[in-house]
Every structure is written in structure tokens, then in C-alpha cells.
């Protein structure tokens, strides 16, 4: 099996050229069109397009105004509620990381105030996801929500996780702005928060490419199309898209006869609470779900020093994955608890063995820490990182498509 190193990097760069790819933007539309062509070239089959509705939203503006009149930039989080036209005036309460203990300790001080928390490394065992912090703020009666990014002088992006409920205004700020909002001996800092967004019903497209095998069984190789407006969404997730294309191309050209088919799936609106993959999985019949032996989800697979498989509670797949890693001499870490932080989560919740391959897990010094910031650009990745990911992924998919059905079925067993 031959992986084209130069083509892998060229595909990665071409996807980054589209920009941040936030769903509903011209950038995302251009990327979806490009990936339809790329996927067809890699697989030799035209894409099956899955169009699905989602709660569209676009940011207009955001800022924090101090009592002195100084205006500090803020980046509205996806699906954020808007403030009144005159802004939201309130005190800011800093809850640090925004853990459940911190919310509990300040439970009598949160109502009516703007909660401030910190962005964390997205890929770590103890990470408290932004959406959980937002939900805790809403539940505690907060008037607004601010999250400070890790990069000096830069804003941070992300989704608020708000659905159709009213919600509260939410925005990402720089660490310097967070310092300006610190509580003093005089009390809590009072600010006026402005967040404006526009809501509209939209539709987006998943792209599905099927390469059938002898049996009506499938291995789904997935990566998400969309990203955020800040930066190029290079690590998250041009890296996964480029690697998936390379794997699909190499397996098709290998001429290997497969017991089961390969389904290359490019999901959209992943950053919108995994909406595209949820639509895909929910649209499947029970028989179709049963025919999927494994989901290999590539998301943020460059920017670190070691790959990790998030195995979603499916401990039976772990020896198989480690065996594949040994076969290509690539170190692989394992993390078993289910994390609903990418599209594999929807497969796992449906009882389908699924894992996410991610780079830089639990490594707070890895470049992966710049995901969701303006620094998420192509220079954070290297050709060697992308090739390493593609080699391991190709070995996993190749073996998963040929392994005996009884052994593949056993992957569904969970120890707990």
C-alpha cells in the first residue's frame, strides 16, 4: 500500500486555502465543493450527498466595554444569544476553569452576573468541555458567559451549545481581557457586554463515498468538514480530512479484495453539537447500523507528539488497534471513557464500535492547544505528522475490512 506524501500535503494545503470553514459561510461551501471532487478522485465514486437542516447562525459583532469606556474585542460563540441593543450591563464573576466544584462554591453569587471561565486543552482526560461550563452558568442563573483563550492577545472560538432555548450571550475573549475583569478589593468588575448574532434556518451537506466489499458490512472512515472563522481550522480538522483522503486513495489503488466495504464520510456541522453525524446515524435503519463494524474518526490528527485512540468504552477494539500500531511501528495511546467531542460519539451512542484518533492528547505543550484560536493554521502541522496518521489509519482500516466477521462482531462487547 503506497501513501502519496506530496499529495497528502497538497490536499491539506488546499483545504486550508478555503479558510476556517464555519458551517454556513462561503468558506465552508467552497470546502464542501472541493471535498466532493477530492473524495471522488480518491475513491473513484461520486459522493452521495446527505442534506440536513440545522439551526443556522452567524456572528455580527461582539465586545466588552469597561466602566472606563475602553472597548475590548470579544468573539461571539456559535449559537450565542444576542444581548439587547444597548448591551448587557452586569458584574463579572471569575470561576477559573469552571469546574463543578467552582460553580458549587460560588452558587449563591452567580445569578445575574456574567460568568468568566478559561478555555482548556480540548484533548485531555480531565478537561471540562466549554458546553458543560456554559450549561452550568445558565442553570445557575448567570446573565452572560465569557471564556478566555490561551493565546496572548488573541480571541478564542467555540460553540455555546445552545439549541432552540433562549440561552444567554456567550463570547470568547483574550487572556488580557480576562485580567482586566478580575475582582478587586472594591468588588466585582462591572462591564457592558455586546453580542450580536443572526439566526436563520439553514441546511448543510454530508458527503458519503461507498466502496463496497463482498459482504454488506462496512468500516466507516470519517472526518468533519467544518471549522471556525478564526484561523484556517488546519489541525481541526483539515488534518483529518487530508489523512482520510490519503487512506481512501491508497486502499482503492492497492487492489486489495475486501471482505467488507469502506465508507468515506465527510460530516458537516460537527462544531454545531455534532449535528451532521447525528443526522447520518439517526437516519440509518437498525439493519444498517448493524452492518457497520467500526467507525474510524480522524479529528485533529496533527500538532502533537503521539496519537491516541479514544475508544468510547469499546475495550474489545483496543488489542486490535494496538496490534495495528505495532505492525507499522507507530506508538498509540488509549483512552477508554466515552467523550462526545467528535463524530465518533454519535456512532458509539448507537452501539456501533467507534473511536477517535487524535494527536496531542493530555500534552499541554503540544501545538494542539491552539485549536479554536487564530493560530490554528497549516504551519502547526508537519508532513511527517500527517503521514504518520495516514499510515496508522490505513493499517487499521485495511485490517478492519478483512478481519473475520465473528471477531469484528466481538468488538461490540463492552466490559461495563
Nearest to 305 by CA among 236, 352, 369: 369
Cell representation of residue 392: 496508522
Strand bridging mode 88-94 / 114-118: parallel
Last residue of a domain, one of 201, 217, 248: 201
Contacts of 285-291 with C-beta under 8 Å, sequence gap 24+, read: 289/350, 289/351, 289/352, 291/216, 291/217, 291/218
Q: How many domains does the chain have?
A: 2
Q: What is the pLDDT of residue 84?
A: 97
Q: What is the pLDDT of residue 1?
A: 74
Q: Are residues 307 and 406 in the same domain?
A: yes
For residue 415, is pLDDT > 80?
no
390: left (phi over 0), alpha (psi -120 to 50) or beta: alpha
For residue 249, is it within any domain? Answer: yes
Last residue of a domain, one of 184, 201, 218: 201
Q: What is the pLDDT of residues 137-188, one digit of tens each?
A: 999 999 999 999 999 999 999 999 888 899 999 999 999 999 999 999 999 9
For residue 416, is it within any domain? Answer: no
Q: What is the pLDDT of residue 125?
A: 85
For residue 416, is pLDDT > 70?
no
Q: What is the pLDDT of residue 212?
A: 97
Q: Are residues 96 and 31 in the same domain?
A: no
For residue 136, is it within any domain? Answer: yes
Q: What is the pLDDT of residues 367-393, one digit of tens each?
A: 999 999 999 999 999 999 999 999 999
Name the pLDDT band for 56 (thresholds 50, 70, 90).
confident
Q: Are residues 243 and 328 in the same domain?
A: yes
Q: Are residues 344 and 298 in the same domain?
A: yes
Q: What is the pLDDT of residue 123?
A: 82
For residue 90, is it within any domain? Answer: yes
Question: What is the full DSSP assignment across 107-119?
Answer: TTT-TTSEEEEE-
Q: Is the model more confident about 230 or about 311?
A: 311
Q: Are residues 232 and 380 in the same domain?
A: yes
Q: Are residues 44 and 107 in the same domain?
A: no
Rg (CA), the chain: 22
Nearest to 236 by CA among 284, 184, 298, 290: 298
Nearest to 334 by CA among 304, 360, 364, 311: 311
pTM: 0.93
228 touches 22 (CB < 8 A): yes
Return the percentage of the chain with pLDDT > 70, whole number: 100
For residue 415, is it within any domain? Answer: no
Q: Residue 362: give its domain's CATH number.
A: 3.40.630.10
Q: Are residues 115 and 233 in the same domain?
A: no
Q: What is the pLDDT of residue 201?
A: 83
Q: Residue 119: give its domain's CATH number.
A: 3.50.30.30
Phi, psi (degrees; rounded to nearest 5) at 68? -75, -10
- Residue 194 to residue 60: CA distance in whole angstroms: 10
First to last CA, the chain: 37
Nearest to 304 by CA among 324, 331, 327: 331
368 touches 235 (CB < 8 A): yes
Q: Are residues 127 and 273 in the same domain?
A: no
154 touches 174 (CB < 8 A): yes
Q: What is the pLDDT of residue 197?
A: 95
Q: Are residues 152 and 17 in the same domain?
A: no
Last residue of a domain, one of 150, 168, 201: 201
For residue 360, is it within any domain? Answer: yes
Q: Are residues 183 and 280 in the same domain?
A: no
Residue 153 domain boundaries: 57-201
Return the percentage of the chain with pLDDT > 90, whole number: 91
Cell representation of residue 182: 478580575
- Mean pLDDT to the nearest integer, 19-24: 96
Q: Are residues 32 and 69 in the same domain?
A: no
- Mean pLDDT to the nearest integer, 213-223: 97
Q: What is the pLDDT of residues 402-412, one digit of tens each?
A: 999 999 999 99
Q: Are residues 95 and 24 in the same domain?
A: no
Q: Which residues contact 16 (CB under 8 A, 6 or more apart)?
A: 232, 233, 234, 238, 377, 378
For residue 93, is pLDDT > 70?
yes
Mean of pLDDT over the chain: 96
Q: What is the pLDDT of residue 348?
A: 98
Amino acid at each position: 500500500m503506497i501513501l502519496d506524501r506530496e499529495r497528502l500535503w497538497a490536499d491539506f494545503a488546499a483545504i486550508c486555502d478555503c479558510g476556517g470553514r464555519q458551517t454556513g459561510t462561503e468558506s465552508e461551501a467552497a470546502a464542501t465543493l472541493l471535498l466532493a471532487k477530492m473524495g471522488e478522485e480518491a475513491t473513484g465514486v461520486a459522493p452521495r450527498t446527505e442534506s440536513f437542516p440545522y439551526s443556522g447562525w452567524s456572528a455580527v459583532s461582539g465586545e466588552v466595554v469597561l466602566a472606563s469606556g475602553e472597548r475590548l474585542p470579544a468573539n461571539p460563540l456559535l449559537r450565542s444569544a444576542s444581548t439587547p441593543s444597548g448591551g448587557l450591563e452586569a458584574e463579572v464573576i471569575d470561576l477559573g476553569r469552571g469546574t463543578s466544584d467552582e460553580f458549587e462554591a460560588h452558587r449563591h453569587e452567580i445569578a445575574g452576573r456574567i460568568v468568566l471561565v478559561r478555555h482548556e486543552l480540548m484533548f485531555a482526560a480531565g478537561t471540562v468541555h466549554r458546553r458543560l461550563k456554559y450549561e452550568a452558568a445558565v442553570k445557575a442563573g448567570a446573565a452572560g458567559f465569557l471564556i478566555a483563550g490561551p493565546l496572548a492577545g488573541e480571541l478564542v472560538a467555540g460553540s455555546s451549545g445552545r439549541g432552540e432555548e433562549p440561552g444567554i450571550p456567550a463570547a470568547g475573549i483574550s487572556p488580557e481581557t480576562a485580567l482586566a475583569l478580575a475582582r478587586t478589593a472594591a468588588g466585582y468588575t462591572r462591564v457592558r457586554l455586546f453580542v450580536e448574532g443572526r439566526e436563520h434556518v439553514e441546511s448543510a451537506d454530508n458527503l458519503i463515498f461507498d466502496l463496497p466489499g463482498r459482504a454488506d458490512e462496512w468500516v466507516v472512515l470519517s472526518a468533519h468538514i467544518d471549522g471556525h472563522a478564526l484561523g484556517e481550522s488546519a489541525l481541526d480538522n483539515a488534518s483529518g480530512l487530508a489523512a482520510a483522503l490519503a487512506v481512501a486513495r491508497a486502499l482503492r489503488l492497492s487492489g486489495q479484495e475486501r471482505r467488507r466495504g469502506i465508507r468515506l464520510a465527510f460530516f458537516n456541522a460537527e462544531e454545531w453539537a455534532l449535528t451532521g453525524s447525528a443526522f447520518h446515524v439517526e437516519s440509518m435503519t437498525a439493519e444498517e447500523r448493524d452492518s457497520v463494524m467500526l467507525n474510524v474518526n480522524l479529528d485533529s490528527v496533527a500538532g502533537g507528539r503521539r496519537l491516541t485512540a479514544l475508544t468510547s468504552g469499546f475495550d474489545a477494539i483496543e488489542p486490535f488497534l494496538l496490534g495495528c500500531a505495532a505492525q507499522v511501528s507507530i506508538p498509540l495511546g488509549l483512552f477508554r471513557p466515552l467523550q462526545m467531542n467528535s463524530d465518533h460519539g454519535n456512532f458509539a451512542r448507537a452501539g456501533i464500535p467507534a473511536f477517535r484518533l487524535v494527536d496531542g492528547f493530555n500534552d499541554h505543550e503540544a501545538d494542539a492547544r491552539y485549536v479554536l484560536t487564530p493560530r490554528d493554521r497549516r504551519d502547526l502541522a508537519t508532513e511527517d505528522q500527517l503521514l504518520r496518521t495516514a499510515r496508522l489509519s490505513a493499517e487499521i482500516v485495511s485490517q478492519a475490512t478483512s478481519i473475520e466477521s465473528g471477531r469484528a462482531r466481538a468488538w461490540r462487547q463492552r466490559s461495563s
